[in-house]
Amino acid sequence: MTTYTESEGATSPWWLVLLEGIFAAIFGFLLLIAPGSTTFFLVQVLGFYLLIGGILRVVSIFIDHSLWGLKLVVGILGLFGGIVVLQHPLWSAIAVPAYLVYFIGFLAMFQGIGGLIQAFQGGGWGAGILGVLTVVFGLILVLNPLIGLVTLPFVLGGFMLAGGIAAIVVSFYLRSSPTATGA
Burial class (CB in 10 A: 0-12, 13-18, 19+), 9: exposed
How high is the mean pLDDT of the chain? Answer: 86
- Digit-coded pLDDT (tens) for 73-116: 999 999 999 999 999 988 888 888 888 889 988 998 999 898 89
- Exposure string over 143-175, b if 16+ CB within 10 A, otherwise e: eebeebbeebbeebbeebbeebbebbeebeebe
Is the pLDDT score of 2 beyond 50? no
Q: Is the pTM of this model over 0.75?
A: no
Which pLDDT tens digit goes with each residue over 128-168? 898 899 899 889 989 988 888 888 888 888 889 999 999 99
pLDDT for 83 equals: 94
